Structure formats: structure tokens, C-alpha cells
Amino acid sequence: MIENVVIIAPELKPGAGGVGDYTLRLLENLPLSKNLKLLIPRTGLNEAASRQYCVEELGTDRAAILDQLPASGGKALVQYSAYGFDRLGYPRDLIHVLLEWKKQTRGRLVVMFHEIWTFWPVTNKNFFVQLFHRCAIKRLLECADVVFTSTSSQGGHLNKLVPSRVVQVLPVGSNIPHKVDVDLLRKPGWAIIFGLQRTRLRALKRMQHSLSSLAAARHITKIISVGANSDSEINDEERELLAGLRLAEGFEQRGTESEQTISEMLSRASLGIFAQDELSYGKSGSFMAYAAHELSILADFADQSKPEPLCWLIAPRELLEGISQTELKTRGERLRQWQQRTSSWQLISAKVAEALQLNATGRLHVPTASR
């Protein structure tokens, strides 16, 4: 039994956010993960997950949080997302407790930075909040045993704080496993936009010009929107944007679907629409789901001169100018190979298990020499 390892995460609700999905996937793949204790804020708790795993509500003050951590020689994995733990984006009490716990117990501390500090102009009042936040993260970096982050850009910012700190870049895994056993015939011109509702809406707004051009030229004939919905007004706005594209075969707004159904959709579509910042692909479960299903990923920033995986994406102009089906298939295959090589859940769980010093059977590994 693993009784002195805790995972601290901002949420444990499937489909509600990236960190929640990430944590649940990690638990599925870590050795004996059901015996780990999880500390989750009240707002991030999920009844079904709480029944399956040993979950406690994260304390609301420093003394309570410290009391929930292992007394000595224990291990803690922190799924760090600043706004997930604090509405101002600076979880000061949590950071303070982790520093104090590390000092008192010399336990093993592993931090996965899904998000770091927020960048604000000096004229914004939040600038000073994030300045203090950045200083606190510096102290956290200095005391942690292992540090991960999901993008190279975040890794660069963390390294600037503590140049001697090794920060391992570990992109997130696919939030939809490939569950289709047979090869499904892809529908030419069918595109899918997958993710949280607000993310889908931003994507449609950002790529409105590109998508309109592709729809007019019939390179895209249908768009399927799928993912959790949270606001009826946003749903109506999304519908208006999709209708405005005048797609030859129309569009579908599917909302929340099962993993099996979404996997089938991803296997039948030809294109995946991605409009987040190019620095953010490494922390996008939707991007990884596209890649895991060998979709041709459509992005305005795609460029063959860029490093992988960006060189395997498809720019709208390439479709308009004409690109062969062979080339589209090749890039989709390369994307899947890259995803399996860099961010499969087997790889992620192995890296985390190694960082926590868990062996393959889930028992704690005790080093031969103390620190």
C-alpha cells in the first residue's frame, strides 16, 4: 500500500478542465494509483472520482493543509495551476505550506507546472500580485526535487528564475484515447473542433477568415463541434458563427459525448481545427487527441520550416493552393508518431513514477543513501 504519497490538484472533474482530465489519466496509469491520497479544493471535487480514489478536501488554511501532508519521509506531487487554486492566481498559502513541509520533513516534492504566473503590464494592479507570485514560485523551484512543465516556453520562463534548476518539458497526453479498433473511412471536407466551450468559441472567432475561405472553396464542407457546454449564450454565439460559414453540408453541435463516440468522430473527420497560441500546443489535450487519431491539424501558424510537431500541421493556404491526400496522410501519421513518442500516458506515468521514486509494483523505492 502507498500510504504516504499525496497528489495535490485543483480539480478532479472529468471534462471540466485540462488539469482534472490530466490527473484522472495519470491515476489510471500510475502503479496502484487507487492507494494514493488526493487533496482537492471543494470546488474541484467530483463525487464519482471521490468514490473511486482516496480523496480529501484540501484545507483552507496553512495549518490544515500542513496537517494533510505526510509527517515524515513522504512524497507529494503538485499539479500546479495558479488560478485553479486561487481566484487571484496566486496560491500563497499552498506554496508556503509546501516550503514549510519540505523544510520540516525533507519529503520528496515533485511539481508539474501546468500554468505559471500571468503576464500583466505594469499599469495593471494584477502586475504586483503576479510579481509576488513569481518570487514565490522561485522559492518553490529551489526546494523541489523534480520539476515538470508542459511547454518549452514555460520551461524557459522557469529556468530564468532559477538557471541551475533542471525543468523537464513533458507535454500533456491525449484526453481522448484512441478507442476505434478498425480503420474508419474518413469523410473528405469534414472538420472537427473539440474542447471546452469557450475555447471552441475563441477558435471560431480567431480563424473566421480562414474557415470562411476554406468553406467557400469547399475544402471544408462540414464542421462538428464537440465538448462540454457551460453557457447557453455562448452556445448560441457558437451556432451563429458556424451558420455564418455557409458550410455545404452544414454543422453539428454535439456537446458532451462519450469517449468512444468522440474517438469515432475524430477517426471519421479529416481535419482538426486548432486556434490556440502555438506555444500552448504542449498543454492542450485536444491537440493531442487530434494527433493521437492521425487527424490533419489545421492551424494558421502552421509552417513546414518550424520544428516538429508544428511542421506536420496544415496551414489554410496549403489547402487553398492544393495539397495532396498523400501529403495530408503522411503528416497525420507523423503527428501520431510524435505524440506517442513524446506524450503517451504510459510515458508520462513512467516519468512521474520515476520522479516520485515508485517502482513498477507501486511500492515506495527507498534510496540506499539518505540525502
Spatial contact of 54 and 38, defined as CB atoms under 8 Å apart: yes
pTM for the predicted model, two decimal places: 0.86
Beta bridge partners of 192: 224, 272
* pLDDT tens track, the chain, 371 positions: 345 899 999 999 877 668 988 999 998 888 765 568 999 999 888 887 778 888 999 999 999 999 999 988 799 999 999 999 998 899 999 999 999 999 999 999 999 999 998 888 888 888 899 999 999 999 999 999 999 999 999 999 999 999 999 999 999 999 888 877 666 789 999 999 998 889 999 999 999 999 999 999 999 999 999 988 877 888 899 999 999 999 999 999 998 898 899 999 999 999 999 998 888 899 999 999 999 999 999 999 999 999 999 999 999 999 999 999 899 999 999 999 999 999 999 999 999 999 999 865 444 443 333 32
Q: Nearest 5°: phi and psi at 342?
A: -110, -25
Report pLDDT for 34.
53
Identity at 354, one-letter amino acid code: E
Q: For residues 285 and 297, is the Cβ–Cβ distance under 8 A?
A: no
Q: What's phi and psi for 247, nearest 5 deg? A: -70, 140
Q: Could you tell me the domains of the chain?
A: 5-173+345-355 (3.40.50.2000), 190-343 (3.40.50.2000)
Find all residues with CB under 8 Å of 48, minimum gap 6, and list them: none
Specify the 3-state DSSP secondary structure of 196: coil
Rounded to whole angstroms, the Cα distance separating 213 from 207 reads 10
pLDDT of residue 363: 45
The whole-number pLDDT of residue 364 equals 42
C-alpha 95/C-alpha 212 separation (Å) is 46
pLDDT score recorded for residue 215: 96
